[in-house]
Amino acid sequence: MGSSKKSVFAPAKAGIAQAGNIVELLVEVARNTFRRPFQFREFIEQAWFIASVTILPTALVAIPFGAVVSLQTGSLIKQLGAESFTGAASVLAVIQQGSPIVTALLIAGAAGSAVTADLGSRTIREEIDAMRVLGIDPVHRLVVPRVLAMILIALLLNGLVSVVGITGGYFFNVVLQGGTPGAYLSSFSALAQLPDLYVAELKAAIFGLIAGIIASYKGLNPNPGPKGVGEAVNQTVVITFLLLFFANLILTLVYLQVVPAKGS
């Protein structure tokens, strides 16, 4: 009976312990961010690497995503007889929800898995242990530049997705649905406002931070062997996706309560 209770609660205890370790790593990253010397070269190299593996997929995903949002909102608004607000609705959908979500998926799927594989391979080759023996803090030397690089690239990718998504939505609405270019552009100011862009960038930064912390934690704590690294990569993607969607829900609820809708 006692062993069955232990087996039931063991996963919950392991999950709580892992959550605590992730929070501890977050605190260490925050503390080491302002510690000198800052690993500027590592930061630039990681930012370039993350950008190289995410920019093209992000742009390719943003085009059909913006088109689908524009076509769906355009069709719905046309049924409601409010064609003049098609542009505003499409832009709001892309900026507030579309671009952060696409950014989160690409940062978690492409960049996060790459960071986990890199740190995981270093861990199983005992390079991380060797750094600790030499008195080098792996969090300061390796984790902080990667987390900051993911935050920076997430901010830039969010802007890229917004521009590409809005452009694609404009093209498909005007060309395929027979919308008026002037009405599409003039409706931007009807519902959209600058805080929409601010909260989208804030979401992207938080998503980049979460993805970087999870990827670094899993990379530093894989199971032994190459199989352990592969499992760590899979766990990174799944856990990051869950946390990012939950964080997006919380941030959206807070934003809608704090910032009033335009015209209300």
* Residue 264 pLDDT exceeds 60: no
The identity of residue 34, as a single letter, is F
Query: Cα(130)–Cα(34) distance, rounded to whole angstroms?
Result: 24
For the cut 70, the answer to whether the pLDDT of residue 106 exceeds it is yes
DSSP assignment of the chain, as one string? -HHHHHHHHHHHHHHHHHHHHHHHHHHHHHHHHTPSSP-HHHHHHHHHHHHHHHHHHHHHHHHHHHHHHHHHHHHHHHHHT-GGGHHHHHHHIIIIIIHHHHHHHHIIIIIIHHHHHHHHHHHHTTHHHHHHHTT--HIIIIIHHHHHHHHHHHHHHHHHHHHHHHHHHHHHHHHHS---HHHHHHTHHHH--HHHHHHHHHHHHHHHHHHHHHHHHHHHSPPSHHHHHHHHHHHHHHHHHHHHHHHHHHHHHHHHHHSPPTT-
Position 93 confidence tier, pLDDT thresholds 50, 70, 90: confident
Residue 260 has pLDDT above 70, yes or no: no
> For 6-15, 31-40, 97-106, 164-173, which range has the lowest pLDDT when averaged over its residues?
6-15
pLDDT tens, 190-217? 666 777 778 888 888 998 899 999 999 9
**Structure token digits, residue 188:** 């931007």
Instruction: Name the percent of the chain lying above pLDDT 90.
Output: 6
pLDDT of residue 148: 92
Please tell me the predicted confidence (pLDDT) of residue 246: 87
What would the two tokens of residue 231 be? 């499992």
pLDDT at 1 over 50: no
Measured CA to CA, the distance from residue 102 to residue 159 in angstroms comes to 11
User: What separation in angstroms does the CA of 173 have from each of 9, 73, 161?
Assistant: 53, 9, 17
Average pLDDT (26-39) is 86
For 165-195, the pLDDT digits (tens) are 777 777 777 776 666 666 666 666 666 677 7
Predicted local confidence at residue 167, as pLDDT:
77
> How would residue 152 be classed by pLDDT, with cut points 50, 70 and 90?
very high
Q: Where is average pLDDT lowest: 11-15, 83-87, 198-202?
A: 83-87
Provide the pLDDT for residue 261: 62
Kindly report which listed range (50-59, 89-98, 109-118) carries the lowest average pLDDT score: 89-98
Residue type, 96: Q
